[in-house]
Structure 1
Amino acid sequence: MNIRYSRLVTAGILAATFAQVAAADIIRGQVTDASGEAPLAGAIVRIEGLDRSTTTDRYGDYRFANIPAGDYTVSVSYIGAEPVSQTVSVQADTTLDIRVGSDVRYLDNVLVVGSAAAQAGAINQQRASDAIISVIDSDGLGNFPDTTVADSLSRVPGLSIETDQGEGRYVSIRGINTDLIAASINGVRTPSPEDRRGVLLDGVPSDLLDGITVQKSLTPNVDADSLGGVIDLKTISAFDRDGRFIRAKLEGAYNEISEEVSPKATLTYSEVFNDKLGVALSLNYQNLAIESHNNETGEWDFLDNGTAYLNDDYEQRWYDLTRERIGFIANFDWRVDENTELYLRTLYNNYEDDEVRNKFEFRDLGDAEDDGTVTADSQTLPLNEMDAEVRKRREVRKIQTYALGGTTNRDAWQFDYEVAYAYAEEDDSDNHDVTFRFEDIQDAAAEAGLTDSDVTIDFSKPETPKFSGALLDLVYDPSNYFMDAFEEEKTVNEDEEISARFDVTRDSLIGDTPVSWQAGVKLRDREKTRDANVIFHEADDLNLADYVGADYVSGWRLANPMPAWPDPDLTAALRNGAGPGFELDEDATNFDSLAEDFTIDEQILAAYAMGTFDIGNLTLVAGVRMEDTKTDLSGNIYAEEDDPENLQTRDVSNDYTHWLPSVNAKYAFNDKLIARGAYYAAVVRPSFGEMAPFTVFNDDRDELELGNPNLDPYEADNFDLSLEYYPTELSVLSVGVFYKTIDNAIYEATYERAEDDDGNLVPLSEFLPTVPVNLGYLDPAQLADVEEITSFINVGSSDLYGIEFNYVQNMADLTRALDGFLVSANLTLTDSESELPDGREVPFLKQSDTVWNVAIGYDKGPWDLRVSANYRGDYVDELMGEDLDRYTDDRLLVEASAKYKVNDNIQLYLEGKNLTDEPEYYYFGDERRLSQYDEFGTTVVFGARLTY
């Protein structure tokens, strides 16, 4: 959009906003269930005769301004209950509270507990929204169906997840990967403890939440830093319920691989004092034992005849870890008077992995090309080197958010204000990794008198290759291994953001058309730092036989035996260079500690103006957002095996502005049929690791790797159309299409310096112009020997499009014979295309063509049952080359749960996760070429919940 024109539009909207004159009276109130204790969010409240409507907020509150004095009929529509109407006489500031549903709590129309309640809450909030959203709501007692936020989000239409150790960690929205979407806690942007923008959503326990909203079409009052949508985690509030609320949960989780019971406990307390002060506290603790079995390969290549062969390493990995989560929420809400509410919302989350990883590695398997035999299902070759490695680490991740703010109403005006602080940290400062190597295996085979010193790798089951050969007796003898390297890490990543916002809203009338004008400003100041500290020691005469505890991993599931050595507790004695004959490897230590450190300061100043127009059955939200971005980046220039005194620092500053219009339209044909359309522009800054200004030369100075601080941000135009049909009291059938055109997508690229006919490198003057990365800050002498440059670049236009289907049904609405049964299903089909500089067309990373969910539940009387299946199609995980890109294979997860209410205060439950024992599989270009395979096993959860 033309900047000058945008400023005129913005100025016009602001002028119209502040030109309105306060008029008439106000009507406000709260909508609850029949008991009066459970506020209902998303209820549609109408003033008949005035054609005025609004929706209730999370506390069930609604408010109308500019209402002429007189008598009116106010109606409430809430899916899952019969409509309710009441008359009211409006004089000045009038209060009207409305209850819907039956007279008996827990039964009939509005259920304030159980799956039906959660389903009703989600449907109503989605129906009432002016934007396109998906909602996961807790039941009336704050119970969530999943352990982590990511696992819950996998059930939302269009969302899929990436896992870590069997648990959901990162979320993709409509094929847009986690670095290009945004997450927030109570509206405060969540920082990332890693060197990326994507947020880990397995660290926040779902027990601390009261709901999750995924906003797929953005309005101008929302930060525009997302191409796919915004995930907002809503923590508990005392005003979510009436009076005192206490909940205690105690459970255990048994995994068939670890064969351990992992405890988890949650204690929640909330109370409202004098209808003024609300206090909500929640503490969550989990100590989860995880054991996973893994094998993976480095890379594959092709023979001249087209046969694929493994030309790198093969590894077996055994992970044995304890994942401890401690989460705490303290939220305070103060209703100062009927016009002002203040709040303090805090979240502290500590996520700690105490991990042991043993790795057994068959190295340099590419010799099969020249010295072995390769078939479609096997390869035979001489084995030259083996590694036995153990890593013991304590990785601590912290996420904290604090928000102080409030809302003040003055007649037709509303003022919202907030200051917030968010902090994330990843601390790897308690970590050691030791490698023992078996070298000159062929010489050892000759000394042992082996006539056949080859190994054969059988790929007939590509997920779990099997090795065979007489040589393996030597391979599994720990006395043949000597220490190669001992590594200790003390690396810390930090992400800190301070923000402040102020919004003003004015309700007015243009003729008979109600219009809500809104404008605001926001400042976000963020600092991201990475401080790597890695220490390497070497020793030639330490034998692995002295560091063996158990011989093999018990219950190992994969094809080849898995050694349990080296023993991590024995190798821990070698920390701080305590091993005999240890020598500090200064070059490796300096390189890994200095090469990729960075500091990035990012400041975003945003302002917006928008209007919400209620034009009969049409609700239109239109406006524009301006975001001005300033970045100051600092990184190091360093060469492998160089003197640290030669370290150089590179500082770069950038400044750019985006004007981002958006329009969201909702048209209600009637109470059952709603059409939506949306357009919004968005901008996503490059990931921190991509734009960090590090510059790294290898030891020969012929390879250069660097970040690109001059990357342009992603820019996208997003379009949505959808149709929603609510055929019965508690059901919805919807279909939506979406299209995104994205400029400046970022990919990693490598450029190789060509040779002339005589085999000499072409001049730098010919090579460097072919590399679209600024290298002018380097001395030509530094680049003289460079033959290969790897960095990150922008590509041209990319397209992503798809269609979503969603169906939710209370079966009792169809026939009373199925009373209590609930059914839900959704399907998302997407496709995308980006063109790389070499002309190759590839899909967006992490984008699955097909995602679907199906769930069948039964919620009646004391029983609440559910069986669900989640399917995610395969997707490109990493670009490696034509026919060799790394894919994540499709995956189907089946889960089930049973909850039994003993009485109004006690509920028992039993859940099964990954009931089909589904593994995670990655491959290179074709499913016959293993990249990585993990098994996590089935988990059974049992527990009890006490509510008072």
Structure 2
Amino acid sequence: MRSAWTWKLGITSSVGMMLGATSRVRAEESEQPLPPLVVEAMRPGTIEVERMASPVPMAGLSQEELEERPALQLGDALKYAPGVYLNGNINENDDLQLRGMPKGYSRTQISGVSIPEGSGEAREFQLNRLPTGLFKEAKIIRNPTAEYESDGIAGRLELETIDIPTSFSGDVHLGYGARNRETPLWDGSVLLGGRPVEWFGTLAAFSYGLDPTLKVKNTFDYAANGQLKKGSVRHEDTPVETYSAFLDAGFFYEGGEFHIKPLYLRREIEKRSQKSGIDYTKAASKDESFDDDAEDRREQTEGATATSVHRWSEDARQESVMAYYKSFERMPRSLTDSYKESGGVMTYDGSSLEDYYKEDETFDFQTKTILDLATPLKQQVRFGIAARAKNRESDSHLREFDDAGVVTDLTTPADRYRLSEDYIAGFVQDQIWLTEDLSLLPGLRAEHMKLDSRDGGTRQSSRSTMDWNPALHALYQPSKEVSVHLGLSRTVNRPQFDQLSPYRRINDDDERVEIGNPDLDPAKSWNVDLGVDWKKGPFFIAANVFYKEISDVIQEDRAGTVLVGGDTYDLYQSRNVGDGWLKGVELDERFDLGDAGITWLEGLSLWSNQSIYSSRVHYASGATSPFEEQPEFISNVGVDYEFKKTGTRFSIYGNFVDDFEWSETDGTRIGYLSEWIVNLSAHQRLGAGLEAFVEVINLFDEQRFETETKTNGDFRHEDITGGRAILAGLNYHF
């Protein structure tokens, strides 16, 4: 879904809508009428109003900014937000990495609920399952108050769905294109909503997308002396179909409102790949091989969120959320047929067949009371409770067939696990205005987590943890143009699901034994953020510095040796390997030069953001390394230009990630070379309510380069090509 109530619909977002930007938006705010369609595009940056007025250090994208970014799904747009890195292959913007930390350190919530992800072993949510037009804003909570769940050391992405308009309106979006000029690419959505009576309104949104997701991967392995050992090329063709359906049924009354929001997400993946390889070490000249892979997979999320806002009086209100969601990932087949050279002829060498099913089921309830106190010092007190019950299971099977048809079942207890988590929390916080310009916000959150886990055999474990996480935030506004934010908090990072299963697995190929660790402690972090925002007329500049002191970092580590059938194998386990720190500077700039009164610059807008990070993990062995997969420098820059008379708009955006490298616990160094990905778009008004557009994603067909160097000096180079996508179509508002 590419369109919502934005400039494509001609809506002017009000300050009131932004300040009430949650699913618990006030009744009078959600009654704002839908204004007539306007010709000119909306300027981005309306989230800055909330950002400057909030004591919470934050960043993010407004509804207008989400819609302006050339994107097929939400992850494609969010990669331009400050402090965001989306790892994975080119054009696969699924896994959110806030402040560059590994994906398991970031959390995502929709309308206040952490939606489960069937495939998310690291508790992540894959963003490219979500249509962009479904959301009115995306906020990045850099340093949370006690009101937010403490899990997620890197930060929390807070997504809020769009509001129900007063007048009946609709929007249709249809785009068609291709990736690498070869395969069709579709992107379409329909959005309808309105309030036929004062006490009831509804909004429905549907979307469909088809992205071929082509990829070519070249891999070369070298000995320490530079001699080529192996080479391979893999061609992947992975059509990805996405479906979404969303409904918001809102009931309004004098004292508040109640919403029921069903959500359905589905992604169908049909991956086909061929890999050709040459091993130069097994024969005088070469030894060739060929793999033919076929994989089918479905990811699905379904459930509903119910939200309620009730006003006890002008100074007291209750906000509640209740949700149930079920997510699963099912792969009924992943088949690999292998061939090897024999006497100059490629002959069948065997097959492997894998299937799996992962399911995550969550019940969630939250309620909080908000009191505005007319004491000598103005105060707003918030307190509440939260409870969540999560059940997760994973069941997979792996079988191998040799060239004679003999079947070997390689399924182990590690491939099956059952987990149940019971979470109970309570919080209290009080924002106190010491003066009109200065407020303090102390708070405390208590979280109790009980975990029961078992593998596919007889191993099982049970444990509980209790965390007391204080927070202190301050907001200082010496003038209307300047805001200073200070945040101090303690957060945690709960282990990945697969790490908690008490399994034991023998890996004969690598001569190692891998065991789970249900006794893992959450990683913990003390966080401090200090930021300054300056906004005057068409200009906005912000700077934020931060530091995190992190203990009990979790990574896979060599834990010793063990005898297996008389042979000595290395023993590996996910463990709390040591402590570390992370620090950085985040900058954000926007210049709406068209509003600066300079005639020849009318319609021109420039924006950019930069993130600079440095980190270190101190392992128990004495070695040190930056955090895994963490860039040290990220920069985004964009230019928007609008010809108001003709209704023409042009935009170009660039995302740059500099070189970075880290070491694993065994000393292996992994690095990425710098990337520069550019997208552009053009929009043209055709008539009342009708607009044509063209978008180009990955304009210069950027590649990803990865290197890996072993402790013995052997190294590997890999480059991945994702392709260029071109999409053209129409937006129609009625």
Once the two structures are superposed, residues 818-877 of structure 1 have per-residue CA deviations (whole angstroms, 9 ceiling, x without a partner) of 111110011111100011222111001121110001111013421222111111123347
Residues 221 and 309 of structure 1: CA distance in aligned 2, closer, same or farther (over 3 Å): farther
CA distance in 1, matches of 2:310, 2:81: 34
Q: Which residue of 1 aligns with 2:386?
A: 522
CA distance in 2, matches of 1:60, 1:422: 19
Which segment drifts farther, 623-632 or 884-893? 884-893
CA distance in 1, matches of 2:479, 2:47: 20
CA distance in 1, matches of 2:112, 2:440: 23
CA distance in 1, matches of 2:68, 2:310: 31
Answering whether residue 85 of structure 2 is matched by residue 160 of structure 1, we say yes
**Structure 1 residues 309-328: aligned runs within 5 Å:** 309=227, 313-328=230-245
Residues 169 and 279 of structure 1: CA distance in aligned 2, closer, same or farther (over 3 Å): same
**Structure 1 residues 315-394: aligned runs within 5 Å:** 315-335=232-252, 337-363=253-279, 365=280, 382-383=284-285, 385-394=287-296
Corresponding residue SS for 1:537 = strand
Answering whether residue 651 of structure 2 is matched by residue 866 of structure 1, we say yes
Answering whether residue 63 of structure 2 is matched by residue 146 of structure 1, we say no
Residue type of the alignment partner of 1:174: R
Q: Is the 8 A contact 1:178 1:199 kept in 2?
A: no
Q: Which residue of 2 aligns with 1:607?
A: 426
Residues 911 and 181 of structure 1: CA distance in aligned 2, closer, same or farther (over 3 Å): same
Query: Aligned-pair distance for 1:145?
Result: 4.0
Q: 1:743 aligns with which of 542, 551, 557?
A: 551
Query: Aligned-pair distance for 1:164?
Result: 3.7
Q: Which residue of 2 aligns with 1:804?
A: 586
Tell me the TM-score normalized by structure 2: 0.92
Q: Which residue of 1 aligns with 2:161?
A: 235
Q: Which residue of 2 aligns with 1:947?
A: 733
Q: Is the 8 A contact 1:42 1:125 kept in 2?
A: no
Q: Which residue of 1 aligns with 2:319?
A: 416
Residues 435 and 782 of structure 1: CA distance in aligned 2, closer, same or farther (over 3 Å): closer
Which segment drifts farther, 202-211 or 419-428? 202-211
Q: 2:620 aligns with which of 837, 848, 852?
A: 837
Q: If you compute each CA radius of gyration, which structure gives the higher value, 1 or 2?
A: 1
Which segment drifts farther, 487-496 or 388-397? 487-496
If asked which structure has higher relative contact order (CA below 8 Å, sep 6+), I would say 2
Query: Aligned-pair distance for 1:435?
Result: 1.0
Q: Which residue of 2 aligns with 1:40?
A: 14
Corresponding residue SS for 2:100 = coil
Q: 1:255 aligns with which of 162, 179, 190?
A: 179
Query: Aligned-pair distance for 1:324?
Result: 0.5
Q: Which residue of 2 aligns with 1:936?
A: 722
Corresponding residue SS for 1:510 = coil
Residue type of the alignment partner of 1:390: D
Corresponding residue SS for 1:189 = coil
Q: Is the 8 A contact 2:26 2:256 kept in 1?
A: no
Query: Aligned-pair distance for 1:665?
Result: 1.2
CA distance in 1, matches of 2:30, 2:334: 58
Once the two structures are superposed, residues 113-166 of structure 1 have per-residue CA deviations (whole angstroms, 9 ceiling, x without a partner) of 6351xx132222322323112221223996764222212111111111113452
Query: Aligned-pair distance for 1:104?
Result: 9.4
**Structure 1 residues 826-905: aligned runs within 5 Å:** 826-861=609-644, 862-876=647-661, 879=664, 881-882=666-667, 884-905=668-689
Residue type of the alignment partner of 1:795: V
Residues 408 and 783 of structure 1: CA distance in aligned 2, closer, same or farther (over 3 Å): farther
Residues 752 and 222 of structure 1: CA distance in aligned 2, closer, same or farther (over 3 Å): closer
Query: Aligned-pair distance for 1:626?
Result: 0.5
Residues 724 and 533 of structure 1: CA distance in aligned 2, closer, same or farther (over 3 Å): same
5+ residue gaps, structure 1: 1-31, 45-54, 64-94, 108-112, 368-380, 445-473, 475-479, 541-581, 637-647, 754-763, 765-780
Q: Once superposed, what is the RMSD of the aligned Cα atoms?
A: 3.0
Q: Is the 8 A contact 1:796 1:835 kept in 2?
A: yes
Residues 205 and 808 of structure 1: CA distance in aligned 2, closer, same or farther (over 3 Å): same
Query: Aligned-pair distance for 1:216?
Result: 1.0
Residue type of the alignment partner of 1:432: L
Once the two structures are superposed, residues 265-320 of structure 1 have per-residue CA deviations (whole angstroms, 9 ceiling, x without a partner) of 111111112232121111101122232211124x6553xxxx34555x43210111
CA distance in 2, matches of 1:935, 1:928: 24
**Structure 1 residues 584-623: aligned runs within 5 Å:** 584-585=407-408, 589=409, 591-592=410-411, 594-615=413-434, 616-623=436-443
CA distance in 1, matches of 2:517, 2:414: 15
Residues 436 and 624 of structure 1: CA distance in aligned 2, closer, same or farther (over 3 Å): same
Q: Is the 8 A contact 1:178 1:198 kept in 2?
A: yes
Q: Is the 8 A contact 1:197 1:687 kept in 2?
A: yes
Q: Which residue of 1 aligns with 2:3?
A: none
Residues 875 and 201 of structure 1: CA distance in aligned 2, closer, same or farther (over 3 Å): farther
Query: Aligned-pair distance for 1:938?
Result: 1.7
Corresponding residue SS for 1:224 = coil
Corresponding residue SS for 1:126 = helix
**Structure 1 residues 152-191: aligned runs within 5 Å:** 152-164=77-89, 166-191=91-116
Query: Aligned-pair distance for 1:692?
Result: 1.7
Q: Which residue of 2 aligns with 1:583?
A: 406
Corresponding residue SS for 2:442 = strand
Corresponding residue SS for 2:94 = strand
Residue type of the alignment partner of 2:653: S
CA distance in 2, matches of 1:341, 1:232: 21
Once the two structures are superposed, residues 790-836 of structure 1 have per-residue CA deviations (whole angstroms, 9 ceiling, x without a partner) of 11121232010011111101102432321111100111111000112
Structure with a larger share of its residues in strand: 2
CA distance in 2, matches of 1:657, 1:783: 41
CA distance in 2, matches of 1:508, 1:913: 51
Q: Which residue of 2 aligns with 1:399?
A: 301
Q: Is the 8 A contact 1:911 1:940 kept in 2?
A: yes
Residues 236 and 727 of structure 1: CA distance in aligned 2, closer, same or farther (over 3 Å): closer
Structure with a larger share of its residues in helix: 1
Residue type of the alignment partner of 1:750: R
Corresponding residue SS for 2:374 = strand
Q: 2:524 aligns with which of 698, 715, 724?
A: 715
Q: Percent identity?
A: 18
**Structure 1 residues 60-75: aligned runs within 5 Å:** none
Residues 97 and 332 of structure 1: CA distance in aligned 2, closer, same or farther (over 3 Å): closer
5+ residue gaps, structure 2: 1-5
Residue type of the alignment partner of 1:609: V
Corresponding residue SS for 1:682 = strand
Residues 698 and 795 of structure 1: CA distance in aligned 2, closer, same or farther (over 3 Å): closer
Query: Aligned-pair distance for 1:261?
Result: 2.7
Which segment drifts farther, 199-208 or 493-502? 199-208
Q: Which residue of 2 aligns with 1:15?
A: none
CA distance in 2, matches of 1:36, 1:202: 26
Q: Is the 8 A contact 2:441 2:473 kept in 1?
A: yes
Q: Which residue of 2 aligns with 1:789?
A: 571
Q: 2:169 aligns with which of 232, 235, 245?
A: 245
Corresponding residue SS for 2:608 = strand
Q: Is the 8 A contact 1:740 1:801 kept in 2?
A: yes
CA distance in 1, matches of 2:727, 2:317: 46
Query: Aligned-pair distance for 1:349?
Result: 0.8
Q: 1:703 aligns with which of 512, 521, 544?
A: 512
CA distance in 1, matches of 2:677, 2:143: 28
CA distance in 2, matches of 1:912, 1:922: 25
Query: Aligned-pair distance for 1:42?
Result: 5.5
Residues 488 and 98 of structure 1: CA distance in aligned 2, closer, same or farther (over 3 Å): closer
Q: Which residue of 1 aligns with 2:202?
A: 279
Q: 2:352 aligns with which of 479, 482, 487?
A: 487
Query: Aligned-pair distance for 1:503?
Result: 0.9
Q: Is the 8 A contact 1:285 1:325 kept in 2?
A: yes
Corresponding residue SS for 1:392 = strand
Which segment drifts farther, 125-134 or 705-714? 125-134
Query: Aligned-pair distance for 1:488?
Result: 2.3
